[in-house]
Amino acid sequence: MDNQLILAIEEEESNLELHVKLCEQRYKQLTTKLDHVDHRLDRLEGHIVDIKDSLKNTDSTKYKTYLTWAGVAISLLVTASASIIAHLLTKIH
C-alpha cells in the first residue's frame, strides 16, 4: 500500500470530521456511477424494445407474404380445377 494512503486511513480513523467528508465523497462517486449504470441500462432496454418490435414486424410481414402466396396458389388450383372440370363436361355432352 502507498504510505500516503495508509496515513490517510489512520488519520480518518482518528478524525470523525475527515471520515464524514471522505464518506460524502465516496457516496457521491457511488451515486454518480449508479446513475451512469442506470442510464446505460435505460439505453439498453430501449435497444431491446427496438429489436423486439423489429422482429415482431418482420414476422408479421413474412406471415402476410406467406398468406398472399398461399391465396394465389389456392386460386390457381381452383381455377385450373374448374377449367379442367368444365372442359371434361363439354366433352361428355
Beta-carbon contacts of 13 under 8 Å, excluding residues fewer than 6 positions away, are: 19
Domain extent, residue 41, equals 3-92
Please tell me the total count of domains within the chain.
1
CA atoms within 13 A on the CB side of 23: 8
75: Cα within 13 Å, side-chain hemisphere? 6
pTM, whole model, 2 decimals? Answer: 0.48
Q: Dig out the grid coordinates for 30 from the structure.
A: 457511488
Query: Tens of pLDDT along 36-82?
Result: 999 999 999 999 999 888 877 776 777 888 889 999 999 999 999 99
Give the mean pLDDT of 21-31.
89
pLDDT bracket for residue 5 (50, 70, 90) = low
Would the pLDDT of 28 be above 60? Answer: yes
- DSSP-assigned letter for residue 93: -
What is the model's pLDDT at position 6? 59
